[in-house]
């Protein structure tokens, strides 16, 4: 079972807006994204909380409106997941457990440079876990200089790559970042990892049932016309989109205004292109298989 939590906030003139969004009790957060930022406020943070609090995962956001005398609106969304009762509704009171565990792993802070894209990789998820969400945090010692040449995406740097990869050692997220302003910019990326299997059993005794979590990363290509173009990645039947990623050609100047799971199989991307002709962008959707169910451990 999946649901979305939407939040709209207003940043006052000359202030930094910081807030946290979390799933309802009993649900876990698997991804988060910025759905709307029409004033292109610089994004200081859009990342999962380092640790769940009382079983509730959280996503933190921060937007910088210090350079404006007008209020600005932002809208964010997080995707929440909840497993069906273990063993079916009739056995709800007989089995215990059945909750997924998650964790967030953050990399070290990296200094960005102008005209020199830097590859920043998140730590690997443990093999028993799969990646479903990604985050980024920015530190700007001299914000006025850094924001002077901010792109309309709201970031003071180009994000030409934000890509989920599954390796034999574990899942991770890889970014390619390039500073666009003269100020000093430090960035740190993180990955949210969810257990691949949930277990349930009687109150006293070993687990008797298991529920697998299967996430695959679908890669496709989209044509981006001059200006702003909306493109879509579609997950296979019997799956829902839970995460997004993108990879742009070097030097293309493509920028993502926003990208988010649309609620079903689709992942939506709005991409800006300064080029005079069409460009090809690689886009990615993290697809959660909805076919698994609780099975008895044999």
pLDDT of residue 151: 54
pTM: predicted TM-score of the whole model, two decimal places: 0.85
Residue 290 confidence (pLDDT) above 70: yes
Residue 197 confidence (pLDDT) above 60: yes
Mean per-residue pLDDT for 217-224? 89
Residue 101 confidence (pLDDT) above 90: no
Q: Give me the phi and psi of 267, to 5 degrees please.
A: -120, 130
Name the pLDDT band for 154 (thresholds 50, 70, 90).
low
Do 106 and 123 contact (CB within 8 A), yes or no?
yes
Question: What is the spatial distance between Cα 78 and Cα 33, in angstroms, rounded to a whole number?
Answer: 6
Question: What is the spatial distance between Cα 292 and Cα 238, in angstroms, rounded to a whole number?
Answer: 10
Residue 292 confidence (pLDDT) above 80: yes
Question: What is the spatial distance between Cα 242 and Cα 235, in angstroms, rounded to a whole number?
Answer: 10
**Hey, what CATH topology would domain 2-85+97-296 get?**
Jelly Rolls (2.60.120)
pLDDT of residue 149: 44
Mean pLDDT over the full length of the chain = 83
pLDDT of residue 171: 93
pLDDT digits (tens, 9 = 90+) for 67-90: 788 899 999 999 888 888 775 555
Do 146 and 230 contact (CB within 8 A), yes or no?
no
pLDDT of residue 146: 46
pLDDT digits (tens, 9 = 90+) for 24-66: 877 888 899 998 888 878 888 999 975 555 555 689 999 888 8
């Amino acid at each position: 079972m999946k649901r979305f939590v939407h939040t709209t906030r207003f940043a006052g003139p000359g202030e930094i807006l910081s807030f946290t969004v979390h799933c309802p009790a009993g649900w876990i957060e698997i991804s988060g994204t910025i759905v709307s930022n029409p004033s292109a406020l610089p994004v200081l943070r859009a990342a999962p909380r380092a640790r769940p609090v009382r079983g509730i995962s959280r996503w933190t956001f921060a937007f910088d409106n210090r350079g404006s005398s007008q209020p600005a609106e932002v809208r964010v969304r997080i995707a929440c997941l909840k497993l069906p009762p273990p063993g079916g509704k009739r056995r709800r009171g007989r089995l215990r457990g059945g909750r997924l565990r998650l964790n967030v792993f953050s990399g070290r802070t990296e200094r960005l440079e102008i005209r020199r894209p830097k590859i920043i990789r998140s730590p690997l998820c443990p093999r028993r876990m799969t990646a479903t969400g990604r985050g980024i945090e920015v530190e700007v010692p001299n914000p006025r200089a850094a924001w002077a040449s901010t792109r309309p995406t709201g970031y003071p740097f180009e994000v030409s790559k934000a890509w989920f990869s599954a390796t034999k050692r574990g899942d991770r997220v890889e970014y390619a970042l390039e500073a666009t302003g003269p100020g000093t910019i430090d960035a740190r990326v993180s990955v949210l990892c969810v257990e691949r299997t949930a277990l349930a059993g009687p109150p006293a005794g070993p687990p008797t049932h298991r529920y697998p979590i299967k996430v695959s990363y679908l890669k496709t290509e989209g044509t981006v016309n001059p200006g702003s173009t909306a493109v879509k990645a579609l997950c296979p039947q019997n799956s829902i989109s839970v995460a997004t990623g993108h990879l742009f050609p070097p030097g293309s100047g493509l920028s993502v205004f926003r990208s988010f799971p649309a609620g079903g199989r689709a992942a939506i991307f709005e991409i800006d292109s300064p080029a005079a002709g069409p460009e090809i962008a690689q886009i990615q959707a993290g697809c959660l298989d909805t076919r698994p169910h609780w099975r008895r451990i044999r």
